[in-house]
Amino acid sequence: MNNPLANLVSWQLKTGQLDGWTAYHIGAGAFFCKVFQWLNFSDFWCVFLVFIVGVAWEIFEWIIEDYKPYGTKKRWAYNTASDLFVETAMALWMVI
């Protein structure tokens, strides 16, 4: 059976978009968004600051690890984009 969702997940695993750390990025997006909400930031700033924290983390990760754990720069780029997407999407979901 040709399941489109299974094909999508398979492609994401193959390209490095989904890995064991994806859940941590989702959780971090929710955690930081909630902290920013407790600090009375507006919805826009909650989501934007989660994105900024995510970018800062990815820069830190690049400095410490480079792209080598991912094998290729293409897999690293896919993973970085995916990490930023999931944490920002979680923050956006929380403010909607």
Provide mean pLDDT across the span 48-61: 97
The pLDDT of residue 1 is 57
3-state secondary structure of 85: helix
Provide mean pLDDT across the span 35-57: 98
Higher pLDDT, 7 or 51: 51
Q: With 0.85 as the threshold, say if the pTM is over it.
A: yes
Q: Single out the residue of 64, 66, 88 nearest to residue 77, CA to CA.
A: 66
Residues 6+ apart with CB under 8 A from 80: 58
Rounded Cα distance between 95 and 87, Å, is 13
The pLDDT of residue 16 is 83
The pLDDT of residue 69 is 87
pLDDT over 90 at 32, yes or no:
yes
pLDDT band at 80, cuts 50/70/90? very high
